[in-house]
Structure 1
Amino acid sequence: MDDGELADRLEQFGLSEKVIDTYLTILELGEAKASQIADAAGVSKRYVYSVSNELEARGFVEVNDHVVPTTIRAQPPTEVIESLSANVAAMRPALEERYTATARDEDRFEVIKSRVTVLKRVSQLLERADSEVELSLPYSLLDEVAPELRAARERGVLVVLIVTGVSPNDDLDLEGIASVVRVWHEPMPTMLAIDSHTGLVAPGEMVARSNSESQAIVFAQPQLGPVIVGSFFGNYWPMAAEAYTASPDPLPATYHNFRHAVLQTTLCKRADVGLSVTARGRMVHTEGPTELHGNVVGIRQGLLEPVNNSFPVENTLVIETEAGTFSVGGPGAFVEDFEAESVTLAPLE
């Protein structure tokens, strides 16, 4: 390493060019008086004294001011490197505390060219699901991802599934595989959305044939997740027929996924179970309470038959409280009175 490259490396530790020249002079002399260093470095003696104090504070040199005249001695390079390494290591906890991991652009999109890899990615993504899954898949391939779907349900994840290539009258094994399943005899793209953030889209022919030249895309962007969810519920869900619904969850229970809370409320209504609801969040259009407590007097939803929402992703609970009747929606609610962050359901006593 030549002097120029060495100087560039030292600059990374906050040393100026002039300070570096002086330090390299001290290294060459080993130990010398300020006047000798000044002459060799082409700087003033006063500057040498000033710089030597800075270098001593960093562990680069030792100033021997107990002798007359004062001498300045370079510390052994091994000790300097150890000191620098220790300082860098000491920064690690503070840096990690402030660090926010973000996916690189190339990690946010992945192009897949084989059916085997598509199914592998679907399984991997299902394992990451924390709150909600929307998936469409040919029934012939359902066994490939069934273990991951069942595991997601056991974690309390809302699983909304469309299986294609079959009809409601077929003998289908759907028990425990999803929260609600619809079937459609027509082919459709394989679509997957995980927690409205990550997902996959593959053309229907790609998963139907092993020799297809089509390609699938895996994405990890919060901007795309809601688009896939909207397409799933808006374009395909209404075309399919309801084939399976899970039993209502044991209550009381708290849901941080609003769509899941609406599904459970609808299942309870089907079973003639009256519910009280506590919704925590904020009023959408006015100042007001951050918590609503009352009885469910209305549901607008499109997850289960009969559907009664006015647009595909509308999910609303109408709650009658002592202060009045309020419509409640989930995160991003704009037509409802209240935006809920969590919903607790309990049977009426």
Structure 2
Amino acid sequence: MDERGLADLLSQFGLSEKEIDTYLAILNRGEAKASEVANDADVSKRYVYSISEELEERGFVEVNDHSVPTMIKARPPSEVIERLNGTIETMEPELERRYTSTDDEIEQFEVIKSRPTVLKRIERLLESADEEVTLTLPASLLTRIQPTLRETLDRGVLVLLLLSGPEAENYPIEQLDGVASAVRVWHARAPLMLTVDRSLGLIAPNDMLTQSNSDSNAISLAQRQLVPVLIGSFLGNYWPVAEELHVERARELPLSTPDFRNAVLQVALHMQQGQDVVATVRGRPVATENGEETIEGEVVGVRQGLVKPATNSFPVENAFTIDTGNRRFTIGGEGAFVEDFEAFEVTLERPDEQDADA
């Protein structure tokens, strides 16, 4: 088999063309410095360092970063083949199970061992967000994530960002405009916690992202029963003790959103400015098992801890009250049980806009 044929086979195991060229360069030398591999594969030295970590995670190479310079060693081909065979054998029963399964709610957990992979996963999850993001991030990593965060916020997604670590202490406020709906800082080294649309999550120890020699792992999960636990921890344990650094301006009304916390934030910001808000809420009376109704009225109160001053009675409480003219209803989000009404979608308008429509 020639080199091209080998490269084609390796591509079937998920390696890109540049990854294949880098791996074959290492394989041809047996053991080499990053600069030598970069020269042979016609890639940058920085790329070799980055991709060698992923190749090590897949079992293709060993990286000895305790030596100076760092040495990259190809694993014996027999070990690589054995690992690839093991991966295929492990994958087969799961593929069969999913092929025959009719259950859409599949539990998904993944252990991530590589720092570059975690950083890529953060960006990929942010790119997938439609409604809501909560993120606790080491402040030193914000520069890398900023462009993706800006794109996420521009799509109308609620983004609550907590920057942690000593680097957060004097973070330039002017660099935060357009990055998140609200930004807080906490000088302790908090773990990375990311949730997207209440269904996807990612958690990692702080040292995995801030120390080059960490042996910690991250966990990615996709399960609607567990991700709200992460959100509760974020809003209940971290967000209240952090210092508020930046809050985006209230969005223009009218505004419709299926994300209840986003609606609560906008209500709070408009009311802080002394502006009246009318809400149309499509949802379910909490006292009923099923059914859907739409109610409408002026917002007369809000209970929240998303922005200061907090007006809620416990950290995860986010709700508002509307007056329909006949009675007042308290409105809560997904899973509401204390409030009168569980909202599926909220439309916020100014009273004068309603009069114009009438």
**Equivalent residue of 1:233, what SS?**
helix
| Match status 1:341 vs 2:344 | yes
Contact 2:280 2:296 in 1 (8 A): yes
Matches within 5 A, 1:144-163: 144-163=144-163
Q: Which amino acid aligns with 2:161?
A: L
Looking at structure 2, the residues matched to 188 and 168 of structure 1 have their Cα atoms a distance apart, in angstroms, of 14
| Match status 1:178 vs 2:180 | yes
Looking at structure 2, the residues matched to 179 and 277 of structure 1 have their Cα atoms a distance apart, in angstroms, of 21
RMSD: 2.1
Bigger Cα displacement from structure 2, 308-317 vs 262-271: 308-317
**Equivalent residue of 1:309, what SS?**
coil
CA shift in 2, pair 1:115/1:102, >3 Å: same
Matches within 5 A, 1:80-159: 102=104, 108-159=108-159
Residue 164 of structure 1 corresponds to 164
Name the TM-score, length of structure 2 as normaliser.
0.66
Residue 67 of structure 2 corresponds to none
Structure 2: 5+ residue runs without aligned partners? 1-99, 353-358
**Equivalent residue of 1:243, what SS?**
strand
CA shift in 2, pair 1:286/1:216, >3 Å: closer
Give the share of equivalent positions with the same residue, in percent: 51
Residue 299 of structure 2 corresponds to 296
Looking at structure 1, the residues matched to 330 and 169 of structure 2 have their Cα atoms a distance apart, in angstroms, of 34
Larger radius of gyration: 1
CA shift in 2, pair 1:289/1:190, >3 Å: closer
Looking at structure 2, the residues matched to 99 and 164 of structure 1 have their Cα atoms a distance apart, in angstroms, of 42
Shift of 1:114: 2.2
Contact 2:321 2:328 in 1 (8 A): yes
Residue 188 of structure 1 corresponds to 190
Aligned length: 250
Structure 1: 5+ residue runs without aligned partners? 1-97
Contact 1:278 1:293 in 2 (8 A): yes
Contact 1:168 1:241 in 2 (8 A): no
Looking at structure 1, the residues matched to 284 and 220 of structure 2 have their Cα atoms a distance apart, in angstroms, of 34
Looking at structure 2, the residues matched to 285 and 103 of structure 1 have their Cα atoms a distance apart, in angstroms, of 27
1:202 to 201, 204, 222: 204
**Equivalent residue of 2:151, what SS?**
helix
**Equivalent residue of 2:245, what SS?**
strand
Name the TM-score, length of structure 1 as normaliser.
0.68
Shift of 1:127: 0.8
Residue 268 of structure 1 corresponds to 270
1:318 to 315, 318, 321: 321
1:332 to 323, 331, 335: 335
**Equivalent residue of 2:176, what SS?**
coil
Contact 2:106 2:223 in 1 (8 A): no
Shift of 1:104: 6.3
Looking at structure 2, the residues matched to 210 and 124 of structure 1 have their Cα atoms a distance apart, in angstroms, of 22
Shift of 1:169: 5.1
**Equivalent residue of 2:117, what SS?**
helix
Deviations 1:51-79 (A, max 9, x none): xxxxxxxxxxxxxxxxxxxxxxxxxxxxx
Deviations 1:84-106 (A, max 9, x none): xxxxxxxxxxxxxx99684866x
